[in-house]
Each structure stands twice: as structure tokens, then as C-alpha cells.
Structure 1
């Protein structure tokens, strides 16, 4: 028991050790390399912490966070709406796969941010182009992982379902969906990571709320402590979203 407890304690301590080393490196870069530079002082851990406390108490950053999370949810929902059926087609229909694989790989390799001018011209300024960019970034890992899940299904499962008289709908919900669930959750986790990377620059497309907008606002106000605190807050939220996706995958895989 004591050895298990010590292993558990070390596993909990290591992340904090890493964070502490990162904080120490940050402090050394500001106060050592930066020296007496005014710009370095503005981005110091002390100034950032003070600004973070004020943002937390003021609540403004939470309004922007909710706006960003709402766009993340919409983008992910759109990606699932298109990505899951496409993945099912790619994985189960060989002719469709061969006809579209080159096209999908070509589109997948285009940076979502390169579509920003086209999205604004086609959809205008506001929520629509932001959600489009997020959905475009998220759809490809969903398509690829769903199709991989279809390819990994044991054919004997489908043969057994046929022998029991299952129709197409029953095979879909009783065999296919449970079989691809783990792959889909992996795709969702990868999609969330891509969405979170694209979110901040996408929110610089004329919206008046969101973490990307708030980054520009703090820069324009020269509130450098708030700027750095918001950057760290974005990292924290992204970490929480990824942890939730990993936990969902772990729980499903453990069933």
C-alpha cells in the first residue's frame, strides 16, 4: 500500500514540478535576460498575476470565454453533423472512398485560417465565418477516425448480425455505432485541439466578444498584464477541454 501511495503521490507531484519549472524559467527570462526592460516588466509573472486577479473578480473575461465556448460548441456540432456521415461513407463504401480520398486529403492540408478572406466575403462579418472556420478545422479528424473505426470492425460481427436477422438500422445502432465510438471520441479530441488553435485568430474577424477579440482589446489598451493573463487563461481552458475529451475516451475504453 505504501509503495502504491508513493507512486500515486509522485504522479501527482510531477505536473506541479513541471509547472513550477516553467514559472521559474518565465521569471528568469523577465528579470534576468530582460533585465530592467520596461516591456519585460509588463509581462512579468507578478504583473500577470495581479491582472489575472482583477480579471477574475471583474468577470469580464468570463463573458468572453462563454462567447468563445459557444462558438466551439457550434463549430464542433457542425463538424459532427457533416463529419460522421462522411466518415461512415468513406469507411463502408469503397468506390466513394477511392473517388474522394484525394480530394479530402487535399482539402485537409489547407490551413483553415487561409480561408478567412473567403469566409468573410461569402458569409459577412460576425459569427458565421468564425463557426465555418472552426467546423472546417474540426471535420477532418472526425472523418478520418470514423472511417478508421469502420475499417476496424470485425466482419464476423456483421455476419453474426445478419444471421440473427438484423436489418440495416439495427446493424448500424447495435454493431457499427458501438464499434466506432472510441474512434469517434479520439476524433473529437483531435478536433477540439484544432478548434482551440484556430479560435483565437478566427475571433479577430470583426466579432465584439470572445477571447480572440479580448486579446486584441488588451493589446489596443496596452494592458499587457491582462494580455498575458488572457493568454494563460486560454491555455487553461484548452487544457480543461482536452482533459474532458480524454476522460470521456478513457471511460468508454474502460467499459
Structure 2
């Protein structure tokens, strides 16, 4: 019975989600219809023309390289942010002195828009993927640091005390108590980081590279191919929605497994 209730709730959530997307497309169509009176080329922005252009681009395989390139940059940026953010978050979370000494500096740096570093990144790293990786990592590392720190702070001290009483080594405490206990927080930080990376990615790919969805947007603008430009915008939204959904499912699976009683199946 509980399983059927969960399935009904999931179906209901799916139905409401579809209604929301249909409403969004209808508002989009109404907006382009309203623009026709003032913008002569508003027809190129309509949902029908946009989806037709997206279908043609996908069939002609014109977006495959750009999409794969963008996804690779997202993966590299997120990986670098995790490699840097998790150890820093662990260190800050386990030391009050370090937290107090770095808190103001981290908040100051976090409030600087990653895009403001674009000229400096190009000057230091040159043209190519390197400045993009730097900007994506800089944008994504802060939610991972903050969530990792919060996870360490929320651990039950009794577990750490029990580990010390059993003469557990630091490595055992880290890999058997701390990391499993904060994995949910890390996944939350990763989900937020993915959203930030995906937003920052498009302007970053306008830094003189020759591939990527951001580059393709510039190319369509130069060719005045506005229907293709709208098609890529829709694709960017769909891919970002998919990435967030994957991160959300990973978080749900982990939290569900963490709450499951020992020995249950």
C-alpha cells in the first residue's frame, strides 16, 4: 500500500511538471505573438520554428561536437571543484580556528562574480580550455566547501568519540565515519555547483574557443540565424535540467539508503 501511494505521488508530481512545461511553452508562444507588432523577426523566435530548427540541427548532427565539448568542460570543472572543495571543507569543518580565520576571506571571494575574472584568466592561461576550467572551478568550489563544512559540523560527536575509544586511526575515522556521514551534504553542494557551472559555462565559451554551446550561440548571432539560436537555448535548458535531475536522483538515493534501517531489504 505504501508503495502504491509513493507511485501515485510520483505520477502526480510528473503530471504537475508536464503541466508547468506546457504552460511555459504557451506563455512563450503568446510572448512571440505579442512581439510581432514591434519586432519583424519575432516569428523566428516562436516555439514551432525553434523546435523545427532544433530537430534539423540534431538530425544533421551539427550539435554533437559542441554538446560533448560543453559536457566535458562541465565534468572537468566539477571534478576540480570537488578535488579542491572537499579537503578544504573537511579542514575548515574540523578546526574552529581555521574556520574563523578563513570565513571572511572565503565570503569575500565567493561574492566576486566568476565572469569578472575572465580577462585575467585569459591573460594568465591564454586562449583555450584552461581559462574556462579555471572559471568553472572558481564558480563551483564555494558551495562544495560550504556544504562539506556544514556536514562536518552536523556530525554526531558521539560517533567520533566512539571511534577514538576504539583506537580508530585518522584514516579509518575519515573514510568510515566522516565521509559517509557528510556524503549527503557533498551531493547537495555538487548539485548546486552543477547549476552554477552550467550558467557560467555559456559566457565562458565565448573566450575565443572554436567549439561548445556558448561558441555556437555566438556563431548563430553572427549568421543572424535566430531560430537556431533559440534552438540552442532550448537545448541548454534541457541539458541543464537533465544534469540537475541526475544530481537530485543521486542525492535521493543516498539519503534513502542512509535512512534505511540496518538489515532491511
Tell me which residue corresponds to 1:211. Answer: 213
Q: How far does residue 119 in structure 1 lie from its aligned partner after superposition?
A: 0.3
* Correspondence 1:70 to 2:77: no
1:36-75 matches, cutoff 5 A: 37-75=39-77
Tell me which residue corresponds to 1:199. Answer: 201
Q: How far does residue 12 in structure 1 lie from its aligned partner after superposition?
A: 2.2
Secondary structure, in 3 states, of the residue corresponding to 1:242?
helix
Tell me which residue corresponds to 1:154. Answer: 156
Alpha-carbon distance between aligned partners in 2 of 1:152 and 1:229, rounded to the nearest angstrom? 44
Tell me which residue corresponds to 1:140. Answer: 142
Tell me which residue corresponds to 2:234. Answer: 232
Tell me which residue corresponds to 1:168. Answer: 170
Secondary structure, in 3 states, of the residue corresponding to 2:209?
coil
CA RMSD of aligned residues (A): 1.7
Change in CA separation of 1:7 and 1:251 when aligned onto 2, cut-off 3 Å: closer
Q: How far does residue 238 in structure 1 lie from its aligned partner after superposition?
A: 0.2
Alpha-carbon distance between aligned partners in 1 of 2:65 and 2:228, rounded to the nearest angstrom? 15
* Correspondence 1:122 to 2:115: no
1:89-100 matches, cutoff 5 A: 89-100=91-102
Alpha-carbon distance between aligned partners in 2 of 1:245 and 1:132, rounded to the nearest angstrom? 22
Q: How far does residue 191 in structure 1 lie from its aligned partner after superposition?
A: 0.4
Change in CA separation of 1:215 and 1:146 when aligned onto 2, cut-off 3 Å: same
Q: How far does residue 60 in structure 1 lie from its aligned partner after superposition?
A: 1.6
Can you give the 5+ residue segments of structure 1 that lack an aligned partner in the other structure? none
Tell me which residue corresponds to 1:254. Answer: 256
Secondary structure, in 3 states, of the residue corresponding to 2:41?
helix
Alpha-carbon distance between aligned partners in 1 of 2:245 and 2:5, rounded to the nearest angstrom? 27
Change in CA separation of 1:102 and 1:6 when aligned onto 2, cut-off 3 Å: closer
Secondary structure, in 3 states, of the residue corresponding to 1:38?
coil
Q: How far does residue 49 in structure 1 lie from its aligned partner after superposition?
A: 1.6
1:205-247 Cα distance to aligned partner (Å, 9 max, x none): 0110000000001111111111000000000000000000000
Secondary structure, in 3 states, of the residue corresponding to 1:254?
helix
Aligned length: 255
1:47-87 Cα distance to aligned partner (Å, 9 max, x none): 11211111110112121010001011111111111111110
Change in CA separation of 1:9 and 1:184 when aligned onto 2, cut-off 3 Å: closer
Alpha-carbon distance between aligned partners in 2 of 1:64 and 1:237, rounded to the nearest angstrom? 12
| Structure-2-length-normalised TM-score | 0.92
| Structure-1-length-normalised TM-score | 0.96
